[in-house]
Structure 1
Amino acid sequence: MSLGLQAFVAALPILVAGLLLVGLRMPARSAMPVVYVVAALLALFVWQVPALRVVAASLQGLVITFDILLIVFGAILLLNTLKHSGALAVIKDSFSAISPDPRIQIVIIVWMFGAFIEGAAGFGTAAAILAPLLVALGFPAMAAVMLGMTLQSTPVTFGAAGTPVLVGLAGGLDGPQLDVLLAENGLTLADYLQLVTNQVVIFHGVAGLFIPVLMVLMTTRFFGANRSWREALPAVPFALFGGVAFVVPYALIGWLLGPEFPSMIGGLAGLAVIIMAARAGFLVPKSLWTFPPRADWPVYWLGSVQADTGEAPPAGTRPSLWRAWAPYLLIAILLVLTRLPALPFGDWLKSLRISFPDIFGTGISAASTPLYLPATVFIATVLVTFWLHRMRPSEMARAFGESTRTLLGAGVVLMFTVPMVRIYVNSDFNELALASMPLAMADWVAQSVGGVWPLFAPSIGALGAFIAGSNTISNLMFGAFQFGVAGQLSMPTVTVVALQAVGAAAGNMIAIHNVVAASATVGYLGREGQVLRLTLVPTLYYVTLVGLMGLVAVGVVSTP
């Protein structure tokens, strides 16, 4: 079988996923089981992978899926708990009092608060939380969804306490090729992921600096009475300041503490700085800009329902502002305490390890340390919040029920997507002595594209997120592929894998699943295409700029 034919066969499951999800608009819960079956059949009958190995790879994928779903459940449960305790409504009211100018609110609420939410929760949650908050502040539903989706860029790589790196890249790269590289360089997997993180924060830091500016520009251009870019210009200095206030602590935390914390602590630190600046009038435009009167809004700006952010309880029973924010602060503290290697807490949590070594004698293993996952911190924070906010059991029950329904929807998709990826990665052992499917694609790309690959690497990551709706899944799908291309082209694998991670984050701006989730919160379903046409602009900006940076980086970086 020629290399070109190998690459085509290996790409078929991805092409089928794109056809079903994008071309036929099939729901992911229906499409991904089909894609899994296609991948399994190709592995069995074309790649001639032993059946037991396909089954073992699928079981390995289910263990990884368990970890992801536990994190998703913890994150969503926390947010629903805050909604039903009234904390989200209190936070919303505090934001509206800082500045009445939507351009300033974009920087504070969408960019800073959204980055913090993304760092804590991930999985598109920030867009679904931001859209209702913005509608409640007077933004058109279409603008609210657009802004929530544009935020799904710089912070996403480190969303849900670094899950796209710690689960996505770790799972996607896991294989003999990485093991050889680590052994040759005396590195552990944690060391390698830290090297990737060091480069990711640089790529994101430069590109993300201008995202709040783009948000303000797009808002005045598409949702202002005069449809003018110029009306954004007085707010550009404040937006740039917001970019700096986030990316500086974001990069420092990435270098110093690793992938769990950049978005969360960067967002929290930047939020404190930008609120103080807004209250002091620093770089705030002297003239107020607002949306046109609601009566003049086109129909396509409007959602069919008001956003459900939860109502604050009556005065006297609602959480105070510090109580509303306390759960987020507790998450940051607990994650730092459990992730610092100098402290014993992380080792205690890791002591519970569920392991499945050498599944069916295939050499494929799987393991989970459930207590060490961020989900444990999220759930512990929920319990503290229940007491701190004096919630009723019925409120907690509603939060639990809503979170469970969300989990069931995500679970069906992930239960087929992740095993499909693991079949890909573990297809290296076969009767034809072929390289694994990702490496077959990598070999063909290396021969066809050559030294300009870094320019395209972020776009592959973005494609994965567009199809799968997740940075984590994109990294699982294409991590080994990007690693293989870098090896074939004698490029630093760390740099190319970092470009994959950054591109996958940018692709969340056009991830259909996330657009649907955010649109649903403000009654904007059925018009997702109009949002995607707008968010395509910042997506193209992001992958192009990062690709150009990647071309420069491969010539100067000396990492393995």
Structure 2
Amino acid sequence: MTWKMVIDPLNNIGLSALMAAVPILYMFWALAVKRMKGHIAGVTTVILAVLVAIFGYGMPAKLALLSTGYGMLYGLFPIAWIVVTAVYLYNITVKTGQFEIIKNSIASITDDRRLQALLIAFSFGAFLEGAAGFGTPVAISGAMLVGLGFNPLYAAGICLIANTAPVAFGGVGIPIIVAGQVTGIDAMAISQMVGRTLPFLSVMVPFYLIILMAGWKKMVEVWPAVLVSGASFAIAQWYSANYLSPMLPDIIASLVSIVALAAFLKVWKPPTTWRFADEAPSLGKEKLQYSAGQVLKAWAPFIILTIFITAWGLKPVKDALDYFGLVKFEIPGLHNMIIKGEKPMEAIFKLNYLSAAGTAILISAFVSIIMLGMPISEGIKTFFETLKTLRYPILTIASVLGFAYIANFSGMSITMGTALAATGKFFPFFAPFLGWLGVFITGSDTSANALFGKLQAVTADKIGVDPVVTVAANTSGGVTGKMISPQSIAVATAAVGLVGHEADLFRFTVKHSLIFATIIGVFVTLQAYVLTWMIPKYKMVEAAAAAAAQKVFPTLGATYLGYTVALVALVFILVLVMNRKKTA
């Protein structure tokens, strides 16, 4: 028997929204006030959410439990799968001694922690976000910073805050594309609107990071480098978002930023070298102690990772991999059993075990094991050690996604969104907070756009504001919620070895998240009513008719996969040849 979703169960949208917010308020309290461990806060939050759904919304207990289980399943795959494989790849480089070479190669560019944070957390992290998304950038860049000697809490916090700039265009632009599909607004128009908002934040974030790390005076010492890092990223992000494609801004902007900062540091250095207070003073920029072949070998796992996740982000490659490795099944008892509006909600789990980003990382790890000469038995042992270390973060991620799904399937998320949409002419200010809320709940800007995109468009139309402004605000505001999403917190603590300290990291980031969301809110309000010249001209896109399911061999994707394998083989051979010469 089906159940019809109720948006206003208390017949007062304000009271209903307050009831719906109880699990979120509880999670804030659990992490920020009681400092509970992440997995305890996550499990108790999802239990509370189920109780609110059953007793507050009248949702049948069976559907509430199935919705939660569906979300937990999604939390395990593909989210936790990415975290496990990313940390595993990092552990391989540590166990084989290659990370010591990476540390020296970075220190030979700069031994200043401020500038290392810009290179790795901001620029390299943005590249990983653009290519793979999900938790990849925080997991990889966070682990790298800790390996370099960063304080683990600062490493995790810096990576989460730095990840603000690229999230909107993450995973090869999928948040923007989904926003277009949900609203009928041309995805390029949404990309342009976001590209006229976020670059201002992208310039600010590097300055903010350094002030947070070292204080105002120490930021002033390196302001030229900070400006080069942020401005080069922002200009490339603005240009590619407005004139190229929503799929490219992160990848282009991050590469431009890395090259620009590395080149600048060849001709400029700060007057003093900054380290954390508990570190030994720097003895000056290190001399590169290894040959070009050794440095290439050490960085090769991450070069191979970059190649694979870039390829995996391309739709033809995804189609090719799904042709051979995709299992879909309906969740029995849940699929089409909840009526949202006039339509039943689907509950289909997709096990894309080949095209998942985590699989690309795992393949990179396997190639790295062979290339670095690590015994297979040691590689297997390291994998299970990694899995054991991450058992609590995996539980946290599963419970958080369980909460996200019960909030969506019960109507709690829509209740809170509808309440914010009732703010009338003030709605453009609150529109980014709706995206912020969506990303906090789901951990994903893509999911937040799927959840609230249509609501943003309809509300904007009612108050006489161009819908592209608020739909883009959902995306731009969503990026500020990423740093406090329990899912992101769990990934970050797992990567830097702070499992059990999720509350500390949440307290570290929550203030900055609200500051950034408020800045976006003010800017969106100006765009809606004052800076209307910033709004792009566009046409609505009619939804394409669903094509009949037809399994056709994806020739283009297979070709791209062939190029990917050839490119990885080239890196592999180059590493062998260069290091053979060194040995001789």
What TM-score results when the alignment is normalised by the length of structure 1?
0.74
AA at the equivalent of 2:71: G
Task: Give secondary structure in 1 for the equivalent of 2:59.
Answer: coil
Q: Which residue of 1 aligns with 2:480?
A: 506
Cα deviation, residue 130, structure 1? 4.5
Indicate conservation of the 8 Å contact 2:31/2:502, yes or no. no
1:209 deviates by: 1.2
Question: Is 1:455 aligned with 2:429?
Answer: yes
Q: CA RMSD in A?
A: 4.1
- What CA distance in whole angstroms lies between the structure 1 residues aligned with 2:397 and 2:499? 23
Residues in 2 aligned to 1:482 and 1:275: alpha-carbon distance in whole angstroms: 39
Instruction: Give the 3 Å change call, closer, same or farther, for CA 68–231 of structure 1 in structure 2.
Output: closer
Aligned to 1:32: 42
Match 1:78 to one of 62, 68, 89: 89
Closer/same/farther in 2, CA of residues 4 and 152 from structure 1, 3 Å limit: same
Q: Does 1:424 align with 2:411?
A: no
Distance 2:47 2:298 in 1: 46
Task: Give the Cα separation in 2 of the matches to 1:530 and 1:321.
Answer: 36
Q: Deviations over 1:282-312 (max 9, x none)?
A: xx25x621348x8xx4xxx579xxxxxxxxx
Tell me which residue corresponds to 1:209: 203
Quick one: which amino acid aligns to residue 408 of structure 1?
R
Conserved in 2, the CA contact under 8 Å of 1:85 and 1:395?
no
Could you tell me which runs of 5 or more consecutive residues in structure 2 were left unpaired when the two chains were aligned: 1-10, 281-288, 338-343, 541-584
C-alpha contact 1:471 1:501 (8 A) present in aligned 2: no
Aligned with 1:412 (options 380, 385, 395):
395
Does the 8 Å contact 2:397/2:486 carry over to 1?
no
Distance (whole Å) between structure 1 residues aligned to residue 314 and residue 526 of structure 2: 33
Deviation at 1:249, TM superposition (A): 4.0
Which residue pairs with 1:129 in the alignment? Answer: 143
C-alpha distance in structure 1 between counterparts of 2:455 and 2:40, whole Å? 31
| Residue 526 of structure 1, CA deviation | 9.9
Rounded to whole Å, the distance in 1 between the matches of 2:20 and 2:496 is 40
Alignment of 1:267 onto 2:278: no
Query: Aligned partners of 1:232, 1:246: CA distance in 2, in Å?
Result: 18
Which runs of structure 2 are paired with 1:42-121 in the superposition (5 Å)? Answer: 42-65=52-75, 66-117=77-128, 119=130
What amino acid is the match of 1:542?
A: F
Q: Please state how far the C-alpha of 1:97 moved relative to its aligned partner.
A: 0.8
1:382 CA displacement? 1.2
SS in 2 for 1:97: helix
Structure 1 position 478, deviation (Å): 8.4
Deviations 1:13-56 (A, max 9, x none): 22222232323222231222332233223323332234454344
One-letter amino acid of the counterpart of residue 96, structure 1: A
Change in Cα spacing, 1:50 to 1:147, as seen in structure 2 (3 Å) is closer
Note the C-alpha offset of 1:275.
Answer: 1.4
Rate the CA distance shift 1:39–1:220 in 2: closer, same or farther, 3 A.
closer
| Residue number among 280, 291, 297 corresponding to 1:323 in the alignment | 297
Which of 546, 552, 557 is the equivalent residue of 2:520?
546
Q: Which amino acid aligns with 1:237?
A: P
Cα 1:405/1:453, change in 2 over 3 Å: farther
Amino acid at match of 2:258: L
Q: Secondary structure at the match of 1:367?
A: strand
User: Which secondary structure does the structure 1 equivalent of 2:109 belong to?
Assistant: coil
- Tell me the CA shift for residue 483 of structure 1: 4.5
* Closer, same or farther: CA 121–480 of 1 in aligned 2, 3 Å: closer
Give per-residue Cα distances to partners, 1:126-155, cap 9 Å, x unaligned: 5632442452xxx67776565445424213
Amino acid at match of 2:202: G
- Find the counterpart in structure 1 of residue 286 from structure 2: none
Counterpart amino acid of 1:425?
A: N
Q: Deviations over 1:232-261 (max 9, x none)?
A: 3352122111113333444556674645x6
State how far apart, in whole Å, the 2-side matches of 1:23 and 1:538 are: 17
- Relative to structure 1, the CA distance from residue 379 to residue 513 in structure 2 (aligned partners, 3 Å threshold; closer, same or farther) is closer
Shift of 1:515: 6.9
Q: 2-side partners of 1:22 and 1:534: how far apart?
A: 9
Number of the residue aligned with 1:484: 455
Q: 1:131 to 1:456 in 2, by over 3 A?
A: farther
* C-alpha deviation, 1:400, in angstroms: 0.8
Aligned length: 497
* Contact persistence 2:469–2:524 (CA under 8 A): yes
Distance 1:43 1:101 in 2: 51
Contact 1:108 1:274 in 2 (8 A): yes
Q: Is the 8 A contact 1:445 1:485 kept in 2?
A: no
Q: Which residue of 2 aligns with 1:383?
A: 366
SS in 1 for 2:354: helix
Q: 1:511 to 1:143 in 2, by over 3 A?
A: same
Bigger shift: 507-516 or 232-241?
507-516
CA distance in 2, matches of 1:58, 1:521: 26
Identity of aligned residues (%): 23
The verdict on how the C-alpha distance between 1:405 and 1:493 changes in structure 2, with shifts beyond 3 A counting, is: farther
Distance 1:340 1:536 in 2: 34
Name the stretch that deviates more: 79-88 or 375-384: 79-88
Other-structure match for 1:445 = 420
Q: For 1:415, what is the secondary structure of its paired residue?
A: helix
Partner residue in 2 for 1:225: none
Q: Cα distance 1:50–1:141, how it changes in 2: closer, same or farther (>3 A)?
A: closer
| Aligned mates of 1:346, 1:219 — CA distance in 2 | 39
Residue 122 of structure 1 deviates from its aligned partner by 5.1
Structure 1 residue aligned with 2:548: none
Cα distance in 1 for partners of 2:493, 2:50 equals: 34
Verify the 8 A CA contact 1:475 1:504 in the aligned structure 2.
Answer: no
Pick aligned residue for 2:348 from 366, 381, 402: 366
Change (3 A) 1:416 1:533: closer
**SS of residue matched to 1:426:** helix
Q: Which moved more, 1:261-270 or 1:88-97?
A: 261-270
CA distance in structure 2 between the partners assigned to 1:278 and 1:542 by the alignment: 29
- Structure 1 residues 364-394: Cα deviation after superposition (integer angstroms, max 9, x where no partner): 3213133222122111211111122222235
SS at match of 1:89: helix
Q: Say if 1:84 and 1:396, in contact at 8 Å, map to a contact too.
A: no
The 2-side partners of 1:334 and 1:75 are apart by: 13
Q: Of 333, 346, 364, which aligns to 2:318?
A: 346
Asked whether the 8 Å contact 1:118–1:126 carries over to 2, the reply is: no
Match for 1:21 among 26, 31, 34?
31
Q: 1:400 to 1:534 in 2, by over 3 A?
A: closer
**Compared CA separation, residues 402 and 154, structure 1 to 2 (3 A):** farther
Distance in 2 (CA, whole Å) between partners of 1:18 and 1:150 is 18
Match of 1:290, SS state, is coil
